[in-house]
Amino acid sequence: MLTVKQIPVLNDNYIYLIHDSVSGETAVVDPAIAEPVQKILRERNWQLSCILNTHHHSDHVGANLTLKKQTGCQIIGSHYDKNRIPGLDRTVSEGDSVFLGRHKASVIDTPGHTLGHIVYYFSEDNFLFCGDTLFSMGCGRLFEGTAMQMHHSLNKLAALPLTTQLFCAHEYTQKNGQFAQTLEPNNTQLHQRITEVAQLRQNNIATVPTTLAQEKATNPFLRSHCPELIHTLAMHENSRVEIFTETRRRKDHF
């Protein structure tokens, strides 16, 4: 069984420690800063085996070199980012696998936010570490990729089992929900989710992980097919990609 420890850092980042109690191996996903990771490792007497980077942005790789120097851990990241991720030891792409003990994570290419963005999917555990590709009720900005690339990447993730737990890299849920409501004001599941999120944040409780089922019911970036969203955008004759593109454009200016 895998244990996931969520570590809030900076303004709204999440770092994730993943520990396999059988093998004793521990991975950290997207370590922005080192000290909080080191603290949890010491408290739990866990040994860091590897770093799993989803992309090259500094708020996801900032502690790579410090943690590698201290622990000798292996740094794993996208082949595309081989010259952009500090200390990278092993490059991976879609079709490759990463093991933590006997637990296998499949690598999925998800270009859009960046061109080299990847996610790690532990299918047996129902865990998806999705970085900045998919957020609770949102998705990442298109800093390097195109809307078509991001739409395709999100469709890949939307095809995973509904029970998949999504470990997103940022706490953006409340603002994302406010935007989603402008597109689907009559979505009752969205209203319920927004209320739940407000209560969680009022108590400084994380809104992630979320589930794919929740996201398919409330996340506008997975709902380009939904009649109310299409009606709000007045895009009845447009393709799914065009609808997604307009949704992303509006979110950028929200």
Annotated catalytic residue within 59, 81, 109, 125: 59
The verdict on whether 236 is a catalytic residue reads no
Cα distances (Å, whole numbers) of residue 29 to 33, 39, 59, 201: 11, 15, 11, 23
Nearest to 100 by CA among 4, 10, 24, 174: 24
The verdict on whether 132 is a catalytic residue reads yes
Annotated catalytic residue within 57, 103, 117, 151: 57
Annotated catalytic residue within 20, 30, 55, 117: 55
117: helix, coil or strand? coil
Q: Where are the alpha helices (DSSP H) in 15-55?
A: 35-44
The verdict on whether 253 is a catalytic residue reads no
The verdict on whether 170 is a catalytic residue reads yes
Cis peptide before 209 (omega within 30 of 0): yes
Annotated catalytic residue within 56, 103, 113, 117: 113
The verdict on whether 117 is a catalytic residue reads no
Cα distances (Å, whole numbers) of residue 234 to 41, 108, 138, 176, 228: 52, 33, 21, 21, 10
Annotated catalytic residue within 19, 56, 60, 117: 60
Structure tokens of 146? 């195109």
| 101 contacts 112 by C-beta, under 8 angstroms | no
The verdict on whether 57 is a catalytic residue reads yes
What residues are annotated to the active site?
A: 55, 57, 59-60, 113, 132, 170
